[in-house]
Amino acid sequence: MSLFRSLEAPPAWCTLRSFEIIDLPENQTASRKQATAKERLLCTGGTAQIMGPDGSVILKEGQFLDIHDKPAFAAWSVTGHGANTQVVRLCGTWGEDISGCGIFRVADEPNATNNGDPVSYPKSTRVDSHYHDCDEYWLLLEGRGTVVVGDRFFDSGPGDCVALGMGHHHDMASVSEPVKAVYFETSLEGRKRVGHLWNHTHGPAQPQPERI
């Protein structure tokens, strides 16, 4: 199963071992300790102040902080400034050479074109069918969408994390409610190409068979 939630075990091959969505009303603080070898905090709304014993870091939406690179933040707290502050905590064992992370949004657009690889299923979003030279994780924060991984379809909603193995084509074919989600691309492998890859441009995908 490629879809899991924060209190569920991910597939064995995943280097993302757990995640947490931390919602913070204005001036509310949450405290945590580093739990795994690698840990990244991504601000997904508002303004978050990450505090350690020796100082603090301010994150705006789309900015992130790698806790494992800063020993002073092994124990940390986060305070929300302004309404609707949200931080996503990503914990795992990925390598040093990782591709990237951020926020993406998807809306229903019946006339949208697909610049990625051709698909045989109905499609109504601008998300292109593509693959990566790394594993990727989509964590839905808002909305509902149909995610396609290879020939499998998943109905996904808030709190769901979709694990996308290296080389496996994936797509968000349609949405029933506008989606806001996190993408997290982990350790680069193989040819270590960055970004969306397509059979028609970059050559045939070579999916890792065990990562499904």
Average pLDDT over residues 137-152: 97
Full-model pTM = 0.95
Domain boundary at 60, 92, 124, which? 92
CB 48 within 8 A of CB 34: no
The reported pLDDT for the residue numbered 143 is: 98
Would you say residue 118 lies in a domain?
yes
Domain that holds residue 130: 98-189
126 and 73, same domain (yes or no): no
Average pLDDT over residues 127-151: 97
The reported pLDDT for the residue numbered 107 is: 97
Would you say residue 146 lies in a domain?
yes
Average pLDDT for the chain: 94
Q: What is the largest CA-CA distance in the chain?
A: 55
For position 39, which CATH number holds? 2.60.120.10
CA-wise closest residue to 98 among 60, 63, 133, 57: 133
* Per-residue pLDDT tens over the stretch 79-109: 999 888 999 999 999 998 998 999 999 999 9
Measure CA of the first residue to CA of the last residue in the chain; give whole Å. Answer: 7
Average pLDDT over residues 37-54: 95
Average pLDDT over residues 11-28: 95
The reported pLDDT for the residue numbered 1 is: 59
DSSP string across 147-192: EEETTEEEEE-TT-EEEE-TT--EEEEEEEEEEEEEEEEEE--TT-
Would you say residue 148 lies in a domain?
yes
